[in-house]
């Protein structure tokens, strides 16, 4: 509980709820996304909404934002029954949302996006005023460096997410909903988002905060509601809980180990990176990956950690330096060239290049290796089915839903498909950016275990991640980056959380 918070818990019982949801249900085909859900939100309160991937969190968010019509159930705002569908009604009722999948229009400018879709924005607003207003909003979320005239498609994923939050500030809403606003962000930006949300709640607005990053919950939420398989558990004050208790509520069981045991590393180098230079790096980078090794690269937004991964994947040019795979020089000229040598790459942005939303799970899972189950140009349906099924079951993807379009999956399940599809390609080296973004704790543990299994088979893995706990728990070797430079590289045992955070912030930390 935040000290001095307007909603002091004790007075809560007498207080009229800002939002009251009763026995809300929503079904998609044969998936019961919400099953008689109860949900309550008080004025000035931050409520964390938690649950495994597919538990129904985003479905509730979509109902409240008027994007989805519920099958049954009632919703009250400040004591009055409301209909929130379609979204214009939800807006009028004072609900504003930052959705899980960003929704800015990429071909418009930042300034235009900031005032899009808002009632009451004068259409003849002078560009100069628009610009000034946009600048204020951008600086509120720490995007001072972005020119309001920039096209949104030029922004990084993190910047887009911060832009979404800036968009929400424009609206004078009573109920603010954030669906995984920090999934794409590094520590620095997360701080900013949490500060913005605290301020909004202190002003008396009510906030629903969806996340898989559980430590955040204890920094920002007054209470916690957990969804399990479309059903709601009664809300609990955060002060009564800890991370383990929340995990047990989410999974319905205890989580034994988050990070699997490390294995032994091969003696020879698998991948040698020598004086690599690429866009986003201001100094050449050198390091070695041994068979069985996970090298974690970490830093703030734009630090260069992702730049290294993208260069090794053959995604960018110009690139210079030498990279040897099994002592043979590797051409980084193109994605096709690196893929051919067994370099698998899983991008941080599954929406742009990770998955094909309209294709089935099976087609997505088999896309990197489908040719290997083809005979004379014909794809073996059986081969594809068997191998996809195998990957799906290893990754806790529902095997019965392999024909479902990936776009219909919950966010975290889409991420599992994006990572899992590379397993069938039998790579030598896996390059991963933010591999567990939006993935629930249970599935995250499974992904980590799987990466370790690959290591045991002699693979080398590079993970670029902004999640400090992940980098520390998963990696054998950790390299930190700051503004385009590799600043330190050491075995995991020589790092602590503090040392890692300090190195990542570098001289910025006073």
At what angle are helices 497-505 and 187-202 packed, to 10 degrees? 90
Nearest CA to 270 out of 321, 324, 340, 310 is that of 324
Q: Up-side HSE of residue 295: CA atoms within 13 Å toward CB?
A: 28
Site string for ligand ATP, 90-109 (x = CB under 6 A): ----------x---------
* 3-class SS of residue 279: coil
DSSP character string of 337-359: HHHHTTEEEE-S-IIIII--TTS
Asked if residue 420 binds ligand ATP (CB under 6 A), the reply is no
56 versus 299: smaller Cβ distance to ligand ATP: 56
Let me know: does 330 contact 343? Beta carbons within 8 Å.
Answer: yes
Nearer to Mg ion, 50 or 220 (CB): 50
Letters for 1-30 (x = contact with ligand ATP by CB under 6 A, - = none) are: ---------------------------x--
CB-based contact 80:16 (threshold 8 Å): no
For ligand ATP, the closer CB: 60 or 463: 60
Between CA 109 and CA 155 the distance in angstroms is 10
In this structure, what token pair is assigned to residue 109?
């400018």
Site string for Mg ion, 96-125 (x = CB under 5 A): ----x-------------------------
Q: Which is nearer to ligand ATP, 51 or 94 (CB)?
A: 51
Among 54, 420, 424, 427, indicate the residue that binds ligand ATP (CB under 6 A): 54
Least CB distance to Mg ion at residue 415 (A): 11
Residue 338 binding ligand ATP, by CB under 6 A: no
The item of Mg ion, ligand ATP, none sharing an interface with residue 413, based on CB under 5 to 8 Å by kind, is ligand ATP
**Residue in 31, 251, 324, 499 binding ligand ATP, rule: CB under 6 A:** 31
Smaller CB separation from ligand ATP, 19 or 500 = 19
Nearest alpha-carbon partner for 102 in 156, 51, 139, 50: 156
Other Cβ atoms closer than 10 A to 487: 17
d(CA 454, CA 482): 29
Residues 417, 422, 423, 425, Cα dihedral to 10°? 140
Q: Which of 480, 476, 470 is closest to 501 using CA atoms? A: 480
Nearer to ligand ATP, 102 or 481 (CB): 102
d(CA 93, CA 409): 29
411 sits near Mg ion (criterion: CB under 5 A): yes
> Which one, of 369, 491, 354, 374, lies nearest residue 418 by Cα?
354
Residue number with CB closer to ligand ATP (376 or 400): 400
Q: Considering only residues 409, 445, 461, 464, which one is a binding residue for ligand ATP as defined by CB under 6 A?
A: 409
Which of 93-101, 160-168, 191-199, 342-350 is the region at the interface with Mg ion (rule: CB under 5 A)?
93-101
> Applying CB under 6 A, which part among 13-21, 50-58, 273-281, 288-296 lies near ligand ATP?
50-58
Residue placing its CB nearer to Mg ion in the complex, 100 or 468: 100
CB count within 10 Å of CB 276 equals 22
| Whole-number Å distance between alpha carbons of 451 and 396 | 14
Question: Which of these ranges, 51-59, 193-201, 419-427, 486-494, lies near ligand ATP under the rule CB under 6 A?
Answer: 51-59
Of 17, 43, 51, 299, the one binding ligand ATP (CB under 6 A) is: 51
- The residue from 2, 7, 58, 306 that contacts Mg ion (CB under 5 A) is 58
**408 near ligand ATP, rule: CB under 6 A:** yes
What does the angle CA 473 – CA 248 – CA 474 come to, to the nearest 5 degrees? Answer: 10
Tell me the closest approach of the beta carbon of residue 485 to ligand ATP, in angstroms.
35
Q: Which is nearer to ligand ATP, 37 or 454 (CB)?
A: 37
Instruction: List the single partner that 436 binds among ligand ATP, Mg ion, none, CB under 5 to 8 Å by kind.
Output: none
DSSP letters of 361-377?
HHHHHHTTTGGGGEETT
Residues in contact with ligand ATP by the rule CB under 6 A: 28, 31, 33, 51, 53-59, 100, 408-413, 440
């Amino acid at each position: 509980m935040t000290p001095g918070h307007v909603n002091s818990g004790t007075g809560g019982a007498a207080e009229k709820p800002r939002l009251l949801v009763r026995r809300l249900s929503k079904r998609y085909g044969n998936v019961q996304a919400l099953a008689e859900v109860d949900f309550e939100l008080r004025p000035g309160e931050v409520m964390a909404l938690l649950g495994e991937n597919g538990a129904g969190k985003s479905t509730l968010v979509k109902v409240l934002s008027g994007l989805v019509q519920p099958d049954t159930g009632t919703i009250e705002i400040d004591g009055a029954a409301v209909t929130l569908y379609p979204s214009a009604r939800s807006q009028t009722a004072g609900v504003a949302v930052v959705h899980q999948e960003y929704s800015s229009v990429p071909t418009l400018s930042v300034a235009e996006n900031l005032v899009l879709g808002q009632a009451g924005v004068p259409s003849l607003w002078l560009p100069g005023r628009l610009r000034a207003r946009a600048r204020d909003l951008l600086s509120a979320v720490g995007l001072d460096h972005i020119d309001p005239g920039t096209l949104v498609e030029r922004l990084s994923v993190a910047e887009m997410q911060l832009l979404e939050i800036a968009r929400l500030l424009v609206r004078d809403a009573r109920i603010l909903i954030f669906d995984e606003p920090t999934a794409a962000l590094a520590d620095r930006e997360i701080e900013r988002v949490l500060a913005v949300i605290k301020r909004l709640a202190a002003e008396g607005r009510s906030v629903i905060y969806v996340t898989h990053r559980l430590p955040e919950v204890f920094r920002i939420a007054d209470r916690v509601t957990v969804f399990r398989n479309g059903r709601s558990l009664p809300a609990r004050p955060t002060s009564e809980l800890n991370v383990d208790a929340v995990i047990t509520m989410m999974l319905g069981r205890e989580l034994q180990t988050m990070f699997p045991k490390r294995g032994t590393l091969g003696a020879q180098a698998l991948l040698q990176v020598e004086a690599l230079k690429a866009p986003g790096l201001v100094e050449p980078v050198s390091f070695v990956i041994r068979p069985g090794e996970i090298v974690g690269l970490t830093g703030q937004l734009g630090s260069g950690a992702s730049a290294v991964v993208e260069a090794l994947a053959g995604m960018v040019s110009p690139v210079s330096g030498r990279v040897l795979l099994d002592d043979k020089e590797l051409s980084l000229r193109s994605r096709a060239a690196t893929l051919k040598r067994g370099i698998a790459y899983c991008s941080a942005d599954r929406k742009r290049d990770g998955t094909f939303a309209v294709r089935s799970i099976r087609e997505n899972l088999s896309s990197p290796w489908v040719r290997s189950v083809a005979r004379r140009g014909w794809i073996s349906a059986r081969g594809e089915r068997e191998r996809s099924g195998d990957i799906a079951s290893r990754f806790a993807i529902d095997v019965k839903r392999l024909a479902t379009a990936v776009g219909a999956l919950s966010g975290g399940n889409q991420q599992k498909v994006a990572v899992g599809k590379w397993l069938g390609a039998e790579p030598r080296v896996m390059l991963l950016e933010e591999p567990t973004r939006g993935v629930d704790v249970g599935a995250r543990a499974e992904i980590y275990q799987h990466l370790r299994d690959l290591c045991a088979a002699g693979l080398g893995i590079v993970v670029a991640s902004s999640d400090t706990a992940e980098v520390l728990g998963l990696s054998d070797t950790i390299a930190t980056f700051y503004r385009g430079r590799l600043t330190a590289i050491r075995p995991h045992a020589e790092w602590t959380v503090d040392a890692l955070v300090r190195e990542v912030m570098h001289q910025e930390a006073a």
